[in-house]
Amino acid sequence: MNKEQLMESARSMKERAYIPYSKFPVGAALLMKDGTVINGVNVENVSLGATNCAERTAIFTAVAQGYKKGDFEAIAVAGNTEDYLPPCSICRQVMAEFFSPEMPVYLTNEKKEILELKLKELLPYAFLDLEM
């Protein structure tokens, strides 16, 4: 699967987001090394702190399905934004837990352009050791 296909999967997930408070849908598509794509959406809660981002939803779903560190190939994140939509700091830290420092993170904007970063570029000073 190429990055455009992965991003389209993330974009298509936005409509499933549960966003009664922010009205800001986010979709994520996580490519596993075995070729499986696991999607996630943001799920809000009135307490805000209990809200879960699309990226973490996809990662946690992968873990629940039996995937482990080293099984992750790439992630695409899509929202309705003029500029590229980066993952929040909590999501970046969870990514550092499961992804290799070289793993591609694809971000998009409303023009459907794709920015490709490596995790180590997105989170250069992770709390955990990024060397796997």
- What positions carry a catalytic annotation? 55
List, as residue ranges, the binding site for Zn(2+): 53, 88, 91
Spatial distance between the Cα atoms of 16 and 125, rounded to a whole number of angstroms: 33
List, as residue ranges, the binding site: 53, 88, 91
From residue 81, give the alpha-carbon distance in Å to each of 65, 78, 110, 112, 121: 31, 8, 6, 10, 21
Count of CB atoms within 10 A of residue 129's CB?
8
